Amino acid sequence: RRFLIEYRERHGATVLLTSHYMQDVTALASRVLMINRGRLLYDGALEVLVARIARTKRIELVLGGGGGGGDDGNRVTAEALATFGEVKSFRFPNAVLEVRREDAPATSARLLAAFPVADLSIEDPPIEDVIRLAFARGVEENA
């Protein structure tokens, strides 16, 4: 990867990368072409594709304090987290929720107010999921 990045930067070269390894795609590609059975499904920026296809964001939390138990009103359970979004995983102190893309900022603020949060990040879904959805749903050519 490093070689391709340096070569492209040094020589201004266009690199045609065909890969099923999505970490390579996210690290190396600023422009993505998706072709399915000879038909161009998408030609454009990866970020635009993600924004168009991914209707959700993931909120990843690291919970602080003793929120795994006790009667302090800050008890963190999967059920309590589910009131904020779909719980993708939860094993105290780590939790991952999936929420509608447009609700991510407000939901994050509500989570911060409701629980002792040591760290919070908002991420797009894994690129593998986005690509899978793009092929399943289809995307407009030259979007």
* Each residue's pLDDT tens digit, 18-73: 777 777 778 777 788 888 888 888 999 988 999 889 999 999 999 987 655 544 44
* pLDDT of the residue at 74: 55
CA distance 85 to 99: 5
CA distance 91 to 78: 9
Kindly state whether residues 47 and 59 are assigned to the same domain. no
Amino acid at 131: I
Asked if residue 92 lies in contact with residue 66, where contact means CB atoms within 8 angstroms, the answer is no
29 three-class SS:
coil
Kindly state whether residues 15 and 60 are assigned to the same domain. no
Stated pTM of the model: 0.71
Report the percentage of the chain scoring pLDDT > 90.
Answer: 45
Kindly state whether residues 67 and 110 are assigned to the same domain. yes
113 three-class SS:
helix
Domain of residue 79: give its range.
Answer: 55-123
The number of folded domains in the chain is: 2
Q: Do the domain assignments include residue 25? A: yes
Residue 87: in which H helix or E strand, if any?
strand 86-91
* pLDDT of the residue at 33: 86
CA distance 82 to 88: 9
Kindly state whether residues 12 and 48 are assigned to the same domain. yes
What's the whole-number mean pLDDT along residues 68-96? 84
Kindly state whether residues 60 and 103 are assigned to the same domain. yes
Which residues lie closer than 8 Å to 79 by C-beta, 6 or more apart?
none
Q: Do the domain assignments include residue 38? A: yes
* pLDDT of the residue at 14: 75
